[in-house]
Amino acid sequence: MNKLNHLTDLSDYYAISLSEQAVIALVGEQASQYLHSQVTINIETLGESQVRWAAHCDNKGKAWSVSQICRFNNALLMLVNSSAQQASLAELKKYGVFSKVEITDSTAEFKQYYVSNEVAQLTLSQTFATLPTETLQSTRNEHGLVFKSDLHDGGYYVVLTKDYSAVYEQQLKDQNIPQYSHEVFTALSIASARADIQDIGGGEFVPQMLNVQAINGIDFDKGCYMGQEVVARTRFLGKNKRAAFSFAVPQCLPIKAGDTIEKQLEDNWRRGGTVVKVAVLGNETHFMAVLPNDTTSNDNFRVSDNLNVSFSVLPLPYSIEQAASNLKRKRS
């Protein structure tokens, strides 16, 4: 496994084994109907080749997980951070007994990868007849599926069956493709401001605090789902005052998900927010934190137990402002 000191050192040719990503599979006559009642997007209209972000919440609207959801053969797959998977899986199974659906931890049945656009063109053409060119659109066959990611570097997310993954890994080896650890993928996702639940458990943040609405992960006009009332009220009444922001610090910081960062207010420091996602490379640290949503690049932050290093947020690559809602006009 290759080492990477700085994210900017990443070449145009690389592959990452997503060892910290898990898979939840839902199969059965009522799989779509059931998952529709549990997550923030409209599963009934999810296309066969479509991939979408979604949050899975408790009845208070706090997210257990943020995942990417797609269809594969006769199953719905939730591609989710492994540290959030168990909570989501347990909650899905709790209510799934009342529907005709089988819900399983299918992580062992697949291997997941993230590869650069150049590597996808070089290696995946041997596995898939065509590669999708539109973001978050997938191509599938008996070996697995691939979709063009919405991360800023334009790479591809690959989900292969366990049996075929050995064939693909040999292709990467034969082509001398540099391979990196999952930490690099986490850094890429942080640089693209994709927040999820990492190592801190669920039940702390409504999806809007993780910017899920900004990546098309909430359908506010869909039917009922777990936590919908809180998620909708947070939007329509303008109650959300927090959002997730990214940082890149040019040194290794002793920081982890769940830590508190402080914000400078004149000569004083006050609690600023909570770290939700971290990636430490050789000589730099990438992380995301949930902060007041009016945070700007002029604000100064530090880790609460490290007084010598301060930093500011990176610009978000999307707007966290909520668009006008037809539902709001109907209710007024």
pLDDT digits (tens, 9 = 90+) for 110-119: 999 999 999 9
pLDDT at 167 over 50: yes
Please write the tens of the pLDDT for every residue from 43-102.
999 999 999 999 999 999 999 999 999 999 999 999 999 999 999 999 999 989 989 999
Question: What's residue 126's pLDDT?
Answer: 85
- Burial of residue 113, with CB atoms counted within 10 A of its CB: 0-12 exposed, 13-18 middle, 19 or more buried: buried
Question: What's residue 332's pLDDT?
Answer: 38
pLDDT at 149 over 50: yes
Instruction: Report the SS3 class of residue 15.
Output: strand
Please answer whether residues 279 and 187 qualify as being in contact, where contact means their C-beta atoms are separated by less than 8 angstroms.
yes
Cα–Cα distance measured from residue 256 to residue 20, given in angstroms and rounded to the nearest whole number: 16
Mode of pairing for the β-strands spanning 52-57 and 110-115: unpaired
From 218, 306, 202, select the one nearest 257 (Cα to Cα): 202
* Residue 331 Cα to chain centre, angstroms: 32
Q: In which band, very low, low, confident or very high, does the pLDDT at 223 lie, cut at 50, 70 and 90?
A: confident
Question: What's residue 285's pLDDT?
Answer: 97
Question: What's residue 330's pLDDT?
Answer: 43
Q: What percent of the chain has a predicted confidence (pLDDT) above 70?
A: 96
- Report which of residues 274 and 223 the model is more confident about: 274
Cα–Cα distance measured from residue 71 to residue 50, given in angstroms and rounded to the nearest whole number: 8
Domains in the chain (CATH in brackets) are 7-191 (3.30.1360.120), 241-316 (2.40.30.160)
Cα–Cα distance measured from residue 109 to residue 288, given in angstroms and rounded to the nearest whole number: 30
Cα–Cα distance measured from residue 82 to residue 195, given in angstroms and rounded to the nearest whole number: 14
pLDDT at 312 over 60: yes
From 143, 120, 115, 144, select the one nearest 133 (Cα to Cα): 120
Give phi and psi for 165, each to the nearest 5: -60, -35
pLDDT at 325 over 70: no
Please answer whether residues 231 and 250 qualify as being in contact, where contact means their C-beta atoms are separated by less than 8 angstroms.
no
Cα–Cα distance measured from residue 223 to residue 313, given in angstroms and rounded to the nearest whole number: 36
pLDDT at 326 over 70: no
pTM above threshold 0.75: yes
Q: In what order do the strands lie in the sheet with 15-17?
A: 138-141, 144-148, 156-161, 110-115, 15-17, 179-180
- Report which of residues 81 and 331 the model is more confident about: 81
Question: What's residue 239's pLDDT?
Answer: 80
